[in-house]
Structure 1
Amino acid sequence: MVYTPSVTSTESVPVSALARRIHGWTWQAYPIGMGTGAVYVSLSGLKFHPKAITTLETIFFFLNLILFVLNTSTLVLQAILYPKQAWRLVKDPVKGVFVPLIVLSFATIIIGVINYAHPTGHVATEFVYALFWIYTSFAVITCFPMLMIWFNNPHDLSHFTPAYAFLIFPMMLVGVVSFNVLRVMDPADTRSVGVLLAGYFFQGLGFFMTFIYICIYIIRIMSTGFLEGHQANGAFVACGPPGFTALALINLATRAREILPKHGLVSELAGEIWFAASVMGALMLYGLAVFFFFFAAMPYWFKIHKHLNEILGCWALTFPNVGWIATTKILGDVFVIRGFYIVHAIMVVLICSTWIILIVLTGMAFWRGLIFRSKEEDVIKDSLDKEEVEEIEKMSQYTASIQGSPVHEHPGSRFSNV
């Protein structure tokens, strides 16, 4: 009896370019928006701040909004149309660490809302306060499940990268979101105490957890040498925890100087003591962040692979450095040293220049189909039911047998690259 399959072949099933894009979209798209957010966050801290700079910041803010909506809606479509691919990305030991970046992108949007929408009266303080708790809940709900998935599997130390700390980053950034929210809240408002304490709580939790990741990173490069290829970009991620924590400590303590005395908390001098201690601690963390920046930058050009298909990893050159760059300006305000302002301005120019280069290269990679595009057979496999896939495999075996070519492939091997 001759077997006659009901499905002809995978090649006969048409796959549109849009379907390949949706199927090929990954969580690594969010760093593009975060890099865009890094531009207006960095520009907003410039000491010399003409109106034209504010206009430029606003443009980048809306561009970041567009990228956030695009990435989120595409990944939602992927989860609806190709649930197997969506779940595969979440469970992937490498690509899965980028899932929490949706929360970090949301943080840059909240900062933009505070900087550009609240001063114009388009957004009320109550709305900003609500955004803080939404972000905090979003961070916890996203980070803990991803940590459970990641820690449920063993990981090779020889392939460890600081980018794994992205699993904790959203909770660490609660402190940064906190002091930005407190800028528009009345210190006498009892709700400001909750925002302040939550900021310290999660900043400490996030920093110390990410610091453990950094220690593992140092151990790794002791045994294997500097990171190479696309992992060389991840070396800049190590700048993030100490840089953002230094920034959060000084700014949270600045708000504590106003909030604690108004509510009679701890002691009369608590606010001043917190501020003095925070400046000292922030200065030490700032030095660590600057060290990690040069530690990553010096061997970078010799270690990175110059391939456009790895361009997404290069966005790590932008947002992890925002923390220590912004701290540079704050230290200039605290110690009244002009040199800090000069260094800050130079680094802001470098961040903007890096963004221009990366957005051009990312556009080229997207146009050539090197990123965010799946193979046709991968799309077809995730579009079919299990029975249909088995039918196609049987057909392949049948075709090979009638042509006199023995089949040695394991069932499903033609999709093994998925």
Structure 2
Amino acid sequence: MDATAPDEHRQASLSQNAHLGVRGRLHHFTWAWFTLTMSTGGLAVLLDRTPHKFRGLITIGTIVFIFNLALFLCLVTAITIRFLLNPNALRRSLIHPTESLFFPCFWLSMSTIILGIQAYGVPSSGPWLPVVLRVLFWIYVACTFLVAVVQYYILFTGEHLTIHSMTPAWILPVFPVMLSGTIASALAADQPPDQALPIIVAGITFQGLGIFVSMLMYPLYLGRLMGDGLPAPDLRPGMFISVGPPAFTCLALIGMANSLPSGYNFFSTHPYSIEVLQTMALFIGCFLWALSFWFFCISAISCINGIGHMVFHLTWWAFVFPNVGFTIATIDIGTQFQSQGVLWVGSAMTILIVIIWCFVFFHHVNAVRRRKILWPGRDEDKEG
């Protein structure tokens, strides 16, 4: 056999790919692209929640929110075109051991849109919008619970993953339904008591589901780190996913406790229970915040150690979204304790999140331009 044949074949393949058009590149448009919109939507929510606002910040947040809506529509259009041009691509994307883990990012993007509508739409709209958000909440809960069940079933029965390949991305299928609690904490305050209480009960129920499934995953993750060491430098930003579950649970517990309808139903006969639950939520939130902070430190040190060896992947957006939850949780704790020191820390973290978002967005655009992603063999749909 001619020894130069593989090289010639590789050169021919590269030459063919060099002329890959938009249609060919869209063939590799994966669910992982929705990490962009879940992070951008999270940034918009954070700008609304940051404690030290300057004039025009809400306008900036509104622009970011609208920009995220436009991005989301573009991404939905692009992935729809991919599935229309390649009829079997949808099924393959949902059973692929890597790409399928990013399908929940679509739903996480939806959660940030709902939160953004609450933050920027409700204050300037009529009473009809809270009703719409209430309907969206229940649809979201039903769909994401179905995702959490079906996707894990597919992972359990499909191409098996090994503990040596374990990453925090294994948490992602339950992440969207876990954010039901975060959404409930934001929506409940503007709902009538007879609607707010069911929303809070659903929120605490599925927030509990999400955090407990995450807790079951953490020993596998830590065991993988102890046995095999850190992931490759390119994949280390994904370690920040582990920051998200305790952080979002912290802010959800505090928010839902503060939105409990006083004088209604159970709380009319147990009037002091609200104060008790608010105190419990705050201290349990501190407990969870510490776990989130520990994961943050481990992830940050690991990424710093890998600087210089990192090539952009869409998992870089994990620099943003989980840390949005961590920042809002810090702000909520500072607000409850009336600590200006903690609130200033939250404001400083907000500035860092904005800088990191700009950094990742620049590298994202540059990676597309330089064919580092959206290219054969370089995206989450690759085999092997």
Structures share fold, TM-score greater than 0.5: yes
**Deviation string, structure 1 residues 126-153 (Cα, Å, up to 9, x no partner):** 1111111121122123222211111114
| C-alpha separation in 1, matches of 2:232 and 2:308 | 8
Root-mean-square deviation (CA, aligned residues, Å) is 2.4
SS of equivalent residue, structure 2 residue 58? helix
- Residue 181 (structure 1) aligned to one of 177, 181, 187: 187
In the other structure, the counterpart of 2:363 is 361
In the TM superposition, residue 369 of structure 1 has moved relative to its aligned partner by: 1.9
Matched, 1:285 2:288: yes
SS of equivalent residue, structure 1 residue 148? helix
Contact 2:234 2:310 in 1 (8 A): no
In the other structure, the counterpart of 2:337 is 335
| Structure-2 change in CA distance of 1:288 and 1:307 (3 Å) | closer
- Listed as ranges, the gaps of 5+ residues in structure 2 are 1-12
Structural mapping, 1:86-125, within 5 Å: 86-121=90-125, 124-125=129-130
| C-alpha separation in 1, matches of 2:140 and 2:239 | 27
Contact 2:45 2:119 in 1 (8 A): no
Matched, 1:167 2:173: yes
Contact 2:233 2:303 in 1 (8 A): no
In the TM superposition, residue 307 of structure 1 has moved relative to its aligned partner by: 4.7
Contact 2:181 2:207 in 1 (8 A): yes
In the TM superposition, residue 61 of structure 1 has moved relative to its aligned partner by: 0.4
Moved more, 239-248 or 130-139: 130-139
Contact 1:311 1:361 in 2 (8 A): no
Contact 2:188 2:197 in 1 (8 A): no
Structural mapping, 1:30-69, within 5 Å: 30-69=34-73
In the TM superposition, residue 88 of structure 1 has moved relative to its aligned partner by: 2.0
In the other structure, the counterpart of 1:352 is 354
Matched, 1:141 2:146: yes
**Deviation string, structure 1 residues 322-354 (Cα, Å, up to 9, x no partner):** 122111111111111111111111111110001
- Residue 315 (structure 1) aligned to one of 314, 317, 330: 317
SS of equivalent residue, structure 2 residue 264? helix
SS of equivalent residue, structure 1 residue 183? helix
Structural mapping, 1:155-304, within 5 Å: 155-186=161-192, 188=193, 190-256=194-260, 259=261, 261-265=263-267, 267-303=270-306
Contact 1:90 1:96 in 2 (8 A): yes
Amino acid across the alignment from 1:217 = Y
In the TM superposition, residue 275 of structure 1 has moved relative to its aligned partner by: 1.1
In the other structure, the counterpart of 2:137 is 132
In the other structure, the counterpart of 1:85 is 89
Contact 1:230 1:304 in 2 (8 A): no
| C-alpha separation in 2, matches of 1:274 and 1:261 | 15
In the TM superposition, residue 287 of structure 1 has moved relative to its aligned partner by: 0.8
In the TM superposition, residue 87 of structure 1 has moved relative to its aligned partner by: 2.2
| C-alpha separation in 1, matches of 2:123 and 2:340 | 28
In the TM superposition, residue 62 of structure 1 has moved relative to its aligned partner by: 1.0
In the other structure, the counterpart of 1:74 is 78
Moved more, 43-52 or 175-184: 43-52
Count matched residues.
366
SS of equivalent residue, structure 1 residue 226? coil
SS of equivalent residue, structure 2 residue 231? coil
The alignment-based identity, stated in percent, is: 27
Contact 1:42 1:326 in 2 (8 A): yes
| C-alpha separation in 1, matches of 2:61 and 2:116 | 9
**Deviation string, structure 1 residues 364-415 (Cα, Å, up to 9, x no partner):** 111122212348xxxxxxxxxxxxxxxxxxxxxxxxxxxxxxxxxxxxxxxx
**Is the radius of gyration larger for structure 1 or structure 2?**
1
Contact 1:33 1:64 in 2 (8 A): yes
- Listed as ranges, the gaps of 5+ residues in structure 1 are 1-9, 376-415
| Structure-2 change in CA distance of 1:417 and 1:219 (3 Å) | closer
| C-alpha separation in 1, matches of 2:238 and 2:113 | 23
SS of equivalent residue, structure 2 residue 327? helix
Amino acid across the alignment from 1:284 = F
In the TM superposition, residue 363 of structure 1 has moved relative to its aligned partner by: 0.6
In the TM superposition, residue 267 of structure 1 has moved relative to its aligned partner by: 2.4
Contact 1:227 1:303 in 2 (8 A): no
| C-alpha separation in 2, matches of 1:205 and 1:51 | 40
| C-alpha separation in 2, matches of 1:63 and 1:29 | 15
| C-alpha separation in 1, matches of 2:97 and 2:169 | 12
Contact 2:237 2:316 in 1 (8 A): yes
In the TM superposition, residue 304 of structure 1 has moved relative to its aligned partner by: 5.6
In the other structure, the counterpart of 2:7 is none
| C-alpha separation in 2, matches of 1:205 and 1:305 | 38
Contact 1:230 1:305 in 2 (8 A): no
In the TM superposition, residue 35 of structure 1 has moved relative to its aligned partner by: 1.6
| C-alpha separation in 2, matches of 1:158 and 1:106 | 32
In the TM superposition, residue 173 of structure 1 has moved relative to its aligned partner by: 0.3
Contact 1:237 1:316 in 2 (8 A): yes
In the TM superposition, residue 156 of structure 1 has moved relative to its aligned partner by: 1.1
**Deviation string, structure 1 residues 188-209 (Cα, Å, up to 9, x no partner):** 3x12111010001000001100
